[in-house]
Amino acid sequence: MTANDDIIRSWAERPGRHIVNLSGGKDSTALAIFMRDKLPQVEYLFCDTHKELPETYEYLDRLSAYLQRPIIKLNAQRGFDHWLDMYGGMLPSARVRWCTRKLKIEPFETYVGSDTIWSYVGIRADEARSGYVSTKTNIHPIFPFKEFGLGISDIERLLESSGLGLPSYYEWRQRSGCTFCFFQRSGEWVGLKERHPELFEQAKAYETERGGEKFFWRQRESLAELEQPERIAQIKAQHTIRLELERKRRPDQPLIDLVGAALDAEDDDLGCDICHL
């Protein structure tokens, strides 16, 4: 019996329900793969905003086939548009993030009720962040990657060995979540416009100006401004410079990681601990 076996046994012996919340991102997917044979009683959940990328839905279908388990989708009736109406058309933002509460946290907490929950979270051993921890006393977080000391290269290996690989949107975007997530970097918005022009148009259609107030996804500019050819050229040029710097700094790194680092070099908010795992 190894120390790792002891850890798994200690999880399995805890009375209550065991849940992995999926976001459609690489870390929570790798966690599901990691847990599959260790704890067969795990329930897999996905809080659907109804505004995810088609690549995300397809990736979750492939994951479900790999797990040979259903992925329970919450929010069947009420997606993003319902809550946007409830909030009077006020778009969510990093400061007023009603979307995460209404579409991720509350549906999860309602679904589990007062049951004792062991909630497995895909924060890696090489990450400083602590992740979202529920304020409900019946929901207890467990961090398997931290307990097993697994970092980014282990996560990539898990994804490769399962045959799932990285989500295909990683070629142009680093995060799971809504198509129009306000945490996106400029380069990711350009990626959305180029890969999914109809979804970019939908995101643009949410933006309005009322009574002198701007309801934009980005503070500094509207999407109509961002999509101007000269602005797109500028964004791409900046991205190329950052990518080259990353390539020189870490020549052995896979391109996909360099693209991520180049996007991360923008000084936006880091993202959402719940939506972007």
Q: Is 200 in the site for ligand SF4 (CB under 6 A)?
A: no
Measured CA to CA, the distance from residue 64 to residue 44 in angstroms comes to: 9
Closest to 143 measured CA to CA, from 167, 118, 115, 166: 118
Q: How many CB atoms lie within 10 A of CB 55?
A: 18
Written as six digits, the tokens of 188 are 């990711």
Q: Is 108 in the site for ligand SF4 (CB under 6 A)?
A: no
- State the nearest-atom distance from the C-beta of 259 to ligand SF4, in Å: 20
One residue of 143, 183, 200, 216 binding ligand SF4 per CB under 6 A: 183
One residue of 92, 107, 122, 191 binding ligand SF4 per CB under 6 A: 92
Cβ contact 199:57 at 8 Å: no
- Tell me which residue has its CB nearest to ligand SF4: 177
Contacts with 60 (C-beta within 8 Å, 6 or more apart), sequence order: 22, 24, 46, 71
Q: Is 24 in the site for ligand SF4 (CB under 6 A)?
A: no
Radius of gyration of the chain (CA): 19
The C-alpha angle 55, 177, 136, rounded to 5 degrees, equals 135
Q: Which stretch binds ligand SF4 (CB under 6 A): 93-101, 128-136, 197-205, 224-232?
A: 93-101
Q: Is 216 in the site for ligand SF4 (CB under 6 A)?
A: no
One residue of 35, 112, 272, 277 binding ligand SF4 per CB under 6 A: 272
Q: How many CB atoms lie within 10 A of CB 139?
A: 19
Measured CA to CA, the distance from residue 239 to residue 229 in angstroms comes to: 15
Nearer to ligand SF4, 258 or 274 (CB): 274
Q: Which stretch binds ligand SF4 (CB under 6 A): 60-68, 71-79, 99-107, 228-236?
A: 99-107
DSSP 270: -
Q: How many chain residues interact with ligand SF4 (CB under 6 A)?
A: 13
One residue of 20, 117, 123, 181 binding ligand SF4 per CB under 6 A: 181
Closest to 177 measured CA to CA, from 18, 20, 26, 32: 26
Q: Which stretch binds ligand SF4 (CB under 6 A): 5-13, 98-106, 118-126, 248-256?
A: 98-106
Written as six digits, the tokens of 183 are 């945490």
Nearer to ligand SF4, 261 or 272 (CB): 272
- State the nearest-atom distance from the C-beta of 49 to ligand SF4, in Å: 5
* Residue 22: φ, ψ to 5°: -95, 145
Q: Is 53 in the site for ligand SF4 (CB under 6 A)?
A: no
Q: Which stretch binds ligand SF4 (CB under 6 A): 91-99, 156-164, 192-200, 218-226?
A: 91-99
Q: 151-180: which residues touch ligand SF4 (CB under 6 A)?
A: 177-178
Measured CA to CA, the distance from residue 144 to residue 104 in angstroms comes to: 21
Written as six digits, the tokens of 4 are 């790792």
Interface residue list for ligand SF4 (CB under 6 A): 49, 92, 97, 99-100, 103, 177-178, 181-183, 272, 275
